[in-house]
Amino acid sequence: MAEAKERTFSIVGKRERKVDGVALVTGRPKFVADVPIPGSLHVKVLHSPHAHARIVSIDASKVETLPGVACVLTHENTPVTRYTTAGQGYPEPSPYDTRMFDAKVRFVGDRVAAVAAESEAIAREALRLIEVRYEVLPPVLSLDEALAPGAPVIHDEEDSTGAYDPSKNIAADIDIDVGNVKKGFAASDIVVETTTETPYAQHAPIEPHVVQSYLDPDRRLVLVSSTQVPFHVRRIVARVLGIPLSRIRVIKPRVGGGFGVKQEILLEDLVALVTLRTGRPALLEYARDEEFVASRTRHPMRIRVKLGAKKDGILRAAEMEVLSNTGAYGSHALTVLSNVGSKTLPLYNKAPDVHFFGRAVYTNLPVAGAYRGYGATQGYFALETAMDELAERLGIDPVELRRRNHIRLGETSPIFQKLGEGREGVPQTVKSCELARLIEVGAERIGWAEKRGKRRRDGAWVHGIGMSIHMQGSGIPAIDMAAATIKMNEDGSFNLLVGATDIGTGSDTILAQVAGEVLGVPLSKLLVLSSDTDVTPFDTGAYASSTTYVSGKAVEKAALEVRGQILSVAAGMLGAPEASLVLANEAVRAPNGKTVSLSQVCERAMYQEGQFQIGATASFVPEESPPPFFASFAEVALDTETGQVRIVRYVAAVDCGVAINPTLAEGQMEGAIANGIGYALYEEMQISSRGRVRNPSFFDYKILGARDAVPIEVILVPSYEPTGPHGAKSVAEIGINGPLPTIANAIHDAVGIRLKRSPFTPQRVLAGLRERR
Amino acid sequence: MKIDLTLNGEKRSFEAAPGDTLLEVLRRERFVGVKKGCGEGDCGACAVLLDGHAVNSCLVLAGKADGREVVTIEGLADGERLHPIQEAFLDLGAIQCGYCTPGMVIAAADLLAHHPDPSEEEIREGISGNLCRCTGYVKQVEAVQDAARRMRRPHG
Amino acid sequence: MGLLHIEEYLRPASLEEAFRLKRAGGERAAYVGGGVSLVLFAPEVKTLVDLSRVPLDGIHSDKGGVRIGASAPMREVLDSPILQTYLGGIVPRMLREVASPLLRNVATVGGTLVAANPWSDVIPVLLSLDAEVTLFDGKSRTIPLANLFPVRHHLGDALLTEVRLPPAPAHGAASFVKFGRTRFDVAMLNVACAVTAEKGRCSKARVVVGGRPDLAARAPKVEEVLVGAEFSPKTIAAAADVAAKTVEVREDRRASAEYRKELVEVGVRRALTEARARLAEGSR
């Protein structure tokens, strides 16, 4: 894109050090549990041992006499309000099917009671003294069981709302038609159909969920939470506990990883209620096994894709049917389901006939929620496997088949309008797209032409090469809103106050770079304060790959206003028209060469003449969600005797518009791909026949370690997104969608087997090899 | 019980319950750079140097540390001067959420103190006990390589 | 989380004192080596007897072979020049695949043997080397390592003080193969072998399969195929075949029985093939 190359930036595009880097690398107290509030009660949760049961009685009388116990919470003494734990904008498009504590438990790990005590040891002891009698009910432990006629009804309560048809365990349902797929398939020369399945996986952030609550000197409730959604926390906690929103302050400090699992109002209600009831601060930190079992997971899915194409490979019809397991509660059920289609199907916009439909189903299993990729990860496994099969059937090279079909600059897809997040979407055309170049660059770097089909042998190892292409989105159009406040200080520095939620992504740094570009200052002059509901303006939070694009645009707007104010003051000082002034390098320059420093400008405005606070607040609601693009290539080696799969090399070519900070953009891609590789090769929550998670620890739930050496090469190919701040789009999620289909396709290249079920464990691979013989 | 140890170069004395782990004692005494990620020795976020060797402090009973030398992340920098590994992590973008960072830097410090010129394989092995969910280890390995180079350079 | 039920933490400075303290506590006392198996202490245990001050570390070599103090951390064994030259450095080679440096800096050899985790990598290798262990219960006695496991729950207050390896055989080679899911993982299956062969003919063979998921055990029928025969690829293939047929495997969270059977054949074949290659190298 010529535009991107012509622009010169002063701080955008620089590999600046993160603004919080020094604090993190020296271990300063920056995380929730690092700043203990003296006198805090320790809260612990009693989890259900049964997948499906009614609580016949709960007797906490023995607990109440234990010294050091401050309060016990059960369904008998807590609010009955139904809500969703999903951290989404109001009104949340998820069923209100959750109570703080219910008289029914719906998965092994569900809340039964909670205790607040002087120490963790006493709290644990107290949990043991709670006597619960259950009426065990038959559990529903799979998609098929949930949909079987006569299946036990998981949400049989009267007061839940928003689920599609709880009597049939259906939390969400969707059916979108474009054209007529029956006619489309009939008119196709080749039709392929494939079904893929993906399992339960957990985000496994190294910092588990943790919340601290306390009453400030004005007796307002303060929640310090490791969260992605501070504003949603405030609103939902207020509603659930029945207290005015203005009596709550939510602060997000540094967060040790979220990946979607913290886009949830998971524990804040509990600690808040303990503090309100006792007047004392309270802390709840999940243990690692609780984090696995009783927080959130990815939605396991079964997805059938049917593609019809002409002999030339151009798609004629596409059908995608989704069955999503949303677990015991429906948070994110509808929106993740929608995303399976909304973030995949527009990529291949040539097909005039498209049918996307599916359902999200309740089961008595761990609760699925938001997880990086948000349905697109599962969807791309199906779609890009089907495309690979189509290429094989047609005798067209897989790279070439993508080239002929992918969406291009200036094009649109009817899916954009028909399918949003749980409701209708927004029409849009692609205004920045380097996908063709990504494919070219990636294919060349991996050695596609040289390696494809060669099946190079190295002892028992066989090599193969595979690819896939992807798009995602940047924020949720017409729904997400972000705001930013900038105020100037008399030394030429600025406070940048953003609701935007840095969860380790580096958004504090990115947003500072966006502002610094407009204001002509280095990062050291930008003091970022983020995610404090009392101080920073609103932001929906860190999800939907929205921070750079949506929050960034709000920052850019605010910075432009502030710049205008600076120039107007400087104009008076320099005696030159505003339009002739240049703001750069912390000073304003007139055409005649006279300058005033930013510090002088602010001193004047603050103390001397026509005094006012130089500052502005701006908001931004995106009208569209410009997709980043990703061409994913991998060379794998497969041990034909053991089925073990090794990634020899991973090449990721990505277009995220202008990369505000290339190091951070690369980091997002590398981390997302590594997580995706884990999901493709190792990660699977194993569930017993009674619905219990059998491997809730890093010992048995294997994530990628440093020795699982995967050389990941990220190639940033810039484009310029005219609607984005300084031309930026997003990059946070898209990387995680590559590994499943890319590796599956590479395995096929190596040994001719198509794996439709992940993870591709050595056992599955070996079984596939044996079957093929 | 009382434990006496040298912590970040200073002689310190702490009260501990007999069953306390070193991780618990350190965090209680405000050395919160030492993180708890799992409490079971699986993730390495709690790594500290014990007599110069990196260990999971969640697996070390406090009593074991009596009479020994412990260095936490807080003790790596020399006042305002960061350790070369810390500088390298900052410069190469090896820190995302930062939660695994202290433990990983400690493990890298152990590695480089004993193997000043490690191969890439040796670096990966050196930090193999430190799990990270954010980075894919790409920039962390590069940062350790860079730190090794910085540390081998003659002072200047 | 720390151990809430512990009331006393003792740090004896001598073997005799350690034994005395443990005996005084009986079932309510437990030895602590590296402490990696912390979480396994039963709730009845109230007293911990920390062995880190008892002089049980150190690695020595003499005519009788190699002696490894039970309190030697795995790292020390891995770095030891004595073990690096013992039978081609088999012990350090195996230790590279065990856990992580963080864990190897605390876990001790003695602790690992007593914990007797079925997925242990250390145990199959030591068994293949005909290791012996010394136990102290007022007096010292030395028994073959293999005899430790049936009695380890009945050791009472005895503690393991030393591991002994016999002098490395001339014309011997050893190897170790581990199958894990990721590289920071316990074994789904592992194989250790030690073979002595002169002029291409095998005079002694130890083949040990571990992580079955049961505790490592020698595979005598496999060893029978090898001893007295030409140590050739053909013999190795036959031995691996017999292994797949005779080594008992079961299913667990990590792997199915069927898959383990496959791994047994591959593991035994690869381990023996590597040993053969090392022998060839050694004789050049």
The gap between the terminal CA atoms of chain A, to the nearest Å, is 49
Look at residue A197 and tell me if it is in a domain.
Answer: no
Domain boundaries, chain B: 2-75, 84-152
Q: How confident is the model at residue C40 (pLDDT cuts 50, 70, 90)?
A: low
Q: Note whether A432 and A357 are same-domain residues.
A: yes
Q: pLDDT, tens digit, for every residue of B104-140?
A: 999 999 999 999 999 999 999 999 999 999 999 999 9
Residues A16-24 have a mean pLDDT of: 98
pTM (2 d.p.):
0.97
In a domain, A508, yes or no: yes
- Residues C52-74 have pLDDT tens digits of 889 998 999 999 999 999 999 99
Find the helix packing angle between A739-751 and A376-394, rounded to 10°: 30
Neighbours of A689 (CB within 10 A): 8
Domain boundary (A596, A620, A644) is at: A620
A561: left (phi over 0), alpha (psi -120 to 50) or beta: alpha
Domain match, A445 and A514 both: no
Does residue C213 have a cis peptide bond before it, meaning omega lies within 30 degrees of 0? yes
Task: Looking at the structure, tell me whether residues A80 and A227 fall in a common domain.
Answer: yes
Instruction: Note whether A326 and A431 are same-domain residues.
Output: yes
Angle CA A339–A342–A346, to nearest 5: 150
- Looking at this protein, which amino acid is placed at residue C11? R
Write the pLDDT tens digit of every residue in B22-80: 999 999 999 999 999 999 999 999 999 999 999 999 999 999 999 999 999 999 999 88
Looking at the structure, do residues A438 and A465 belong to the same domain, yes or no?
A: yes
> Same domain, yes or no, for A754 and A766?
yes
Check residue C38 and give its pLDDT: 62
Nearest residue in chain C measured CA to CA from A687:
C253
Dihedral pair phi/psi, residue C20, rounded to 5°: -60, -45
Question: Which subunits sit against A, judged by 3+ Cβ pairs under 8 A?
Answer: B, C
pLDDT tens digits, one per residue of A57-97: 999 999 988 999 999 999 999 999 999 999 999 999 999 99
Domain with A424 in it? 301-476+624-772
For C214, what's the count of Cα atoms within 13 Å in the CB-facing half-sphere? Answer: 10
pLDDT at B1: 92
Mutate: best of B43, B80, B138, partner A, most A CBs <10 A: B138
At A711 the pLDDT is 92
Domain end call among A249, A274, A293: A293
Is residue A25 within 8 angstroms of chain B, CB to CB?
yes
Asked if C266 reaches chain A (Cβ–Cβ under 8 Å), the answer is yes
CATH topology of domain C172-282: Enolase-like; domain 1 (3.30.390)
Chain B residues with beta carbon closer than 8 angstroms to that of C39: 40
Between chain A and chain B, the number of residue pairs with CB atoms below 8 A apart is 169
In this prediction, residue A120 carries a pLDDT of 94
Q: Are residues A106 and A225 in the same domain?
A: yes
Euclidean distance between the first and final Cα of chain B, in Å?
A: 47
Question: Can you say whether the dihedral through the CA atoms of B48, A698, B88, B30 is positive or negative?
Answer: negative
Q: Are C101 and B110 an interchain contact pair (Cβ–Cβ within 8 Å)?
A: yes
Residues A583, A628, single domain; the answer is no
Tokens 């390495």 belong to residue: B44
Q: What is the DSSP string of C103-133?
A: HHTT-BHHHHHHHT-TT-SHHHHHHHTT-EE
Q: How many CA atoms lie within 13 A of C105 on its CB side?
A: 24
Q: C-alpha angle with apex C57: C55 to C60, nearest 5 degrees?
A: 120
User: Which residue is it, tokens 């005649």?
Assistant: A592
B150 interfacial to chain C (CB closer than 8 Å): no
Residue with tokens 């993508």: A402
Question: Does some domain include residue A402?
Answer: yes
Question: What pLDDT, on the 0 to 100 scale, is given for residue A4?
Answer: 47
Query: Are A380 and A461 contained in the same domain?
Result: yes
The residue type found at C19 is F
The verdict on A18 touching B (C-beta cutoff 8 Å) is: yes
Closest residue on chain B to C37 (Cα): B59
Domain presence at residue A144: no
**Mutation for B interface: A25, A42, A523, A669, most B CBs within 10 A:** A25
- Is B84-152 assigned to CATH 3.30.930.10? no
Which of these CATH numbers, 3.40.50.720, 3.40.50.10680, 3.30.1490.20, 3.10.20.30, describes B2-75?
3.10.20.30
User: Residue A1: pLDDT above 80?
Assistant: no
**Could you say which residues from 104 to 123 on chain B have a Cβ atom under 8 Å away from some Cβ of chain C?**
107, 110-111
CB contact under 8 A, B32 and A674: no
- Specify the CATH number for the domain of residue A529: 3.30.365.10
Domain locations in chain C?
8-50, 59-165, 172-282
Q: Which fold has domain C59-165?
A: 3.30.465
Closest by Cβ to A705, choosing from C183, C253, C259: C183
- What average pLDDT does range A722-732 have in this prediction? 97
Cis peptide before A759 (omega within 30 of 0): yes
Q: Which residues of C touch B (CB under 8 A)?
A: 1-9, 11, 32, 34-36, 38-39, 48, 50, 52, 73, 75, 96, 99-103, 105-106, 183-184
Give the separation between CA A698 and CA A66, rounded to whole angstroms.
34
Short-list B60, B68, B54, CA closest to B114: B54
Task: Establish if C179 touches chain A: CB-CB under 8 angstroms.
Answer: yes
Indicate whether C2 pLDDT > 70. Answer: no
As a dihedral over the C-alpha atoms of residue A673, residue A674, residue A679, residue A683, rounded to 10 degrees, the angle is -170
Here the tokens at position A219 are: 């007796």
How many other CB atoms are found less than 10 A from the CB of residue B156? Answer: 3
Contact C5 B20 (CB under 8 A): no
Examine residue A147 and state whether it is found in any structural domain, yes or no. Answer: no
Residue A228 confidence (pLDDT) above 60 = yes
How many domains does the structure of chain A reveal?
Answer: 3
Give strand ranges (E) for B38-130.
Answer: 47-50, 53-56, 69-71
**Confidence band for B155, pLDDT divided at 50, 70 and 90:** low
Say if the Cβ atoms of A667 and B93 lie within 8 Å.
yes
Q: Choose from B23, B28, B53 for mutation: most chain C CBs within 10 A.
A: B53
pLDDT at A3: 45
Distance CA A366, CA A383 (A): 26
**CB within 8 Å: A24 and B130:** no
B90: chain A residues, CB-CB within 8 Å? 17-18, 21-22, 25
Using one digit for the tens of pLDDT, what is the confidence trace for A658-701? 999 999 999 999 999 999 999 999 999 999 999 999 999 999 99
- Contacting partners of chain C (3+ CB pairs under 8 A): A, B
